[in-house]
Structures are given as structure tokens and as C-alpha cells.
Structure 1
Amino acid sequence: MRSLVCALLALTLAACTGSAPESLSKTEAPGAIYNGDTREDVSTSSSPEKELVKATAVLVHSYRLAQAQNSVVKLNSTPLEQLYPLCPDEKFLTQPTLGFCSGTLIAPNLVLTAGHCVENQKDCNDSHFIFGWTEEKSRQGMLPSSEIYNCKSIVKFDLNIRKNIDYAILELDRPVPGVRPAKIAKEVLLKADQTLLSLSHPLGLPVKKDYARVLSDIPEMHTFKVQVDTFSGSSGSPLYNAQGEIVGILSRGMDDILEDDIYRVQKEGGCINFNACAVGLCFGQTYYKAPRIDL
């Protein structure tokens, strides 16, 4: 993990600003994007985080998978630009959306995710996992059935919103070969402005990385706050410290898109930008402290 440590220590947050003139997202509100959308595509072959990318899973519902011939599965994905009337300056518009949550391989046949992603055995039966689903891999539009894993059972689960507890450990139908499971940190030692690595599948897109900035951590709490560009679909995704250990999993965050904007587009035309937080309203995303899980 030495290369990952070096990469994290050298991080700077790149900022991108500006919206298309026809954008309707002008409301000042808490948002899911901070200092411009800094998400990036990653690769399983060249990035310093490649082993962690391989251990990252997109969770997929059964209806998204269609059995083709010769043990090949067709992925019933939807291009991002077809989900919402997004403005042309948004990222990843032509990439496919496929999943509903994110997770991480923490043992050869175990996945860590958020509890609200898979709450019961019925949810488990309808959940499937693809590891290392990068933008390059998504271009194929299909995968060998051997690369798709099924949820067998819920090994550990706790979802208590009042107490800010939100995690699940799921057993796969078989071990995942050739992937090194990620490790959960033994404890959370966070400082304000500390940088952490996020790997997730925002809106079900191929895996993206971003660098999170710690806003606050109260030792007695089960959760902590960071500024990082995550969306629905990122739930259950990991945050890594400089040692490549999981310190948190995404539990909840701010709204990606404002419903008022969708209504205005339907009524007046135009397009939507994702919801960037206004100054003074950047409250951060909420992560459950992974070391609190009783393994």
C-alpha cells in the first residue's frame, strides 16, 4: 500500500466551476457537490488504488441482468443523460448507470455495505455484485456470468437511524478469486481537514474516486462528516485512510437533485445541474464508522 500512501499525501483538491447558461439549479440549499465536481474515473490496471478498486462492488438488482448465450450476461443499463434532463456541462453523461448501492469485499466471500441497501433476505435475493466495474469495463455492455456474484445471506446487520447505525455484511454465493479483500481499520482517528479516499458508484455509474475532507468527528458518535462528491448509489461505499484501511461507509448525504428543479424543467424547459451546496450550507455527507462493526 506504499504507493497509495504516497498518492494520498500528495493530494490536492481540483476545483471546477461554471454552469451552462440554461441551468435551473440556482436555489441556495445544502448540496451534494463541494467546490466543483471532483469525481474521476479510475482503472483497475494503472491507478495507485487499483487493488482497492478491484475490491469495490456495485450492487445490482435482478432486472438489470439478462442472461444471454454462452454464459454471458447482458447488462440492462441506462445512460446517465436519460435519467434526468441534465445540462451538457455535467460529467459522465454518456456513461451507463446500473447499480443501486456500493460495497466493498472484506473477506473472500463477504461484502460490507450500508444497512439501508439490503435490509432483509428478500432484498438479499434480489442483489447481485460486480467487482471492479470501471468505465473501461462498462463499455462491453455485458459480462461473463462468472463475474457476477449473488447475495446468499445477511451475516451481520444493524439499521437504527435514531442511533446513527447503518451497516450490513453480506455473504456471497461463492468466494471472489483474484481480488484482495480490503481491511477495516481497528480504530477511527480523524482530524479536521484530513484527506480520505472515496471509491463509489454514484448514481450506479462505473466506479469513481474522489478525495474527502473531514469536517468533524466526535469520538462518542457512530458517524462523522466529510465533504465529498457522492450521490445516491454511493450508499455503502468506503472511505480509506492513508494506510488503505476502511474508516467509514456512506450512510446518507445531501440531495443530488432538487425536486423543484425537475418541476421547473417539466414546466419551462431547460436543464438541471446537480445540487452544489451554497456557501455556509455545505454540511457534508454522513459516514458510519466502520471500526464500530463487531466482526
Structure 2
Amino acid sequence: MRLLLSALVCGLLWGASATAQDGRRMLTAAEAEDWQAVGRVNIQGDKFCTGALIAPDRVLTAAHCVFNDVSNRLVQADEIHFLAGYRLGEYHAHRRVRRVMVHRDYDPLLPSSESQIVADIAVLQLEAPINSVRPFERELRPRAGDSIAIVSYARDRPEAPSIQRPCETLRVQDRFVVMDCDVTFGASGSPVFSFRNGRPRITSVVSSIGRRFGSDVQEAYGAALDDGALDSVLYDIARGGSERVIRRPGAGSIASQLGRE
């Protein structure tokens, strides 16, 4: 299967359009109460991604969100904030980040590919737990044909969470997940939910968008969380891993490496 992939980038906290893509709608205030564990991840004061609580002090997001495009380093933890349930200037809880850990196989200087997408997982350890919100549980194995939902903040609607439901898991190859969901810039790191017994469980995390070769139909791509992928990141962050630096002669910025410039 040949794919034309495009890595999603963090949204900007300025200059955003008010018009959302087709397929997504803004959650009402009442609806948003059920999704308080989804929040906006603010990065270095001018960018954001989406993240979700998977433990009172752990936030799941995408690895490519937490790398600085200029320095090729992980963003310093104290430059990242998590706003649980952020909506129109208000939020359920605000926490600074204490530690950032990405999947061991993720390399931000490599082009977006299936192997990079399945490693596009990061966990943020918060300075203090958020005990007033119930974290989401995981659904370890997504299945083709599953009805799913994505809750996200996006460049065209950064001030409130949007939901697309239903959309569908089209294919699962190893841990590479293909979905027909409508996502856009800023939605990086968004949790993908399946529903078992009426409760949402996180089955994947949004990494990239693209299309099949020869097709104009957009697809969304993400990483499944089974086979130890997320557990390995949680293990590393529990051990207290150190900041990772990635430099290559002549590599240029991460943005240029990922085709973002």
C-alpha cells in the first residue's frame, strides 16, 4: 500500500480561522463535561497540540509535538502546560509539566512514514495530579470497522474542543492505524476513542494525515497503543529518563526534515 503522508504540526495560538473543517463540530458546554480529561497542550507560549489524561498525572500526546523545530531538542518540560477541559478561555484544571518522554524509536528528523507514525507517542508527567477528572482507560487493540470518535483542538478552532463521531477505523497493520476521520493542524496528539459498553476508551493517538497514492480521499493515521508501545514510554518516564538531543550534520531544522517549511 503506497501512501502520501503529511505530518500534522502543532497549531498556532494566533491567526486562527474560525471556520472548522467539515465533519467536526464544537462540543457544547454540556457535552464538554464528559470530555474533561481531554485538554490542550500549550507549548512554548505560541503552539499547541491535543492531549488526554491516561492517569491523574500522565498525559498522552504525539511525540512530534514536543520537539523544538530549531534546536532539535525536546521542548523543556517547564515550557509545556496542560489545560484539562479547556473551552473558551476556561478550563477544569491547569498543570505544568515536570517531565517529557517519547517513544524510543521516534526520530523527528526522519520523514513521516509508517515506522515513525507507530512510534509517534509521548507521555507528559504533570507536576501535580489532576484528581478531579477521571482519566481515560485504554482499548489495547483497534479493529478494522470499529466506530470511533476523535476529540481535538485544531488550528481552525483552538479555543474549544471539537468532536467527530462517528468515523471509522479502516485498516490496522501491525500498530499502524488508518482512519477516515477528518483531522487538521493542531489535532496532533488527539485521542482516538472506541466505545465498549458505552464508555470511551483510547485506542490510538492521531499522528498524521495523508492519502493513498492516486486518491484524493484524506485519511488520518495513528499509532495503536498495544504490544508494549505505550507501556515502554510509561516505563521510561517512571525511571526518570533524561532529555534527548538529535543532531545530524546538514540535517537542518526538524520542520524542513518533515516537509513543514
Shorter chain as denominator, the TM-score bin is: 0.5 to 0.7
Deviation at 1:126, TM superposition (A): 1.5
Query: What is the letter of the counterpart of residue 48 of structure 2?
Result: F
Please tell me whether the aligned partners of residues 139 and 201 of structure 2 are also in contact (alpha carbons under 8 angstroms).
Answer: yes
CA displacement at 1:129 relative to structure 2: 1.1
Which residue among 128, 134, 138 is the counterpart of 1:180? 134
Residue 41 of structure 1 corresponds to 26
Give distance in 2, aligned partners of 1:280 and 1:254. Answer: 10
Structure 2 residue corresponding to 1:215, chosen from 163, 167, 170: 170
Matched, 1:282 2:254: no
For residue 156 of structure 1, report the CA deviation from its aligned partner. 4.8
SS of 1:234's partner is coil
Aligned length: 194
Counterpart pick for 1:246 among 195, 202, 226: 202
Q: Is 1:112 matched up with 2:49?
A: no
Distance 1:37 1:249 in 2: 20
- Structure number having the greater strand percentage: 2
Pairwise mapping of residues 1-295 of structure 1 onto structure 2 (< 5 A)? 37-43=22-28, 46-47=30-31, 50-51=33-34, 53-63=35-45, 99-119=47-67, 121-134=74-87, 138=88, 141=89, 143=90, 147-158=93-104, 159-160=106-107, 163-164=115-116, 165-188=119-142, 190-192=143-145, 194-203=146-155, 204-211=158-165, 212-218=167-173, 220=174, 222-243=175-196, 244-254=200-210, 280-291=215-226, 292-294=229-231, 295=234
Unaligned ranges ≥5, structure 1: 1-28, 65-98, 256-276
Question: SS in structure 2 opposite 1:293?
Answer: helix
SS in 2 for 1:207: strand
CA contact (8 A) 1:30 1:283 kept: no
* AA matched with 1:153: R
Alpha-carbon distance in structure 2 between the residues aligned to 1:63 and 1:280: 37
Q: Based on CA coordinates, which of the two structures has the bigger radius of gyration?
A: 1
- Report the Cα offset of residue 216 of structure 1: 1.6
Name the TM-score, length of structure 1 as normaliser.
0.58
The letter for the 2-side match of 1:284 is E
TM-score by length of 2: 0.65
Contact 1:100-1:232 within 8 A present in 2 as well: no
CA positional deviation for 1:167: 0.4
Measured against aligned partners, the alpha-carbon deviations of 1:137-188 in whole angstroms (never above 9, x if no partner) come to x1xx4x58x9321111024534245523110111011111310001111323
What is the distance in 1 between the residues matched to 2:129 and 2:97?
Answer: 11
- Structure 1 letter corresponding to 2:171: S
1: CA distance between counterparts of 2:28 and 2:79?
A: 28
Aligned to 1:4: none
How many percent identity over aligned positions? Answer: 21
Distance 2:140 2:181 in 1: 23
User: Higher mean Cα deviation, 112-121 or 226-235?
Assistant: 112-121
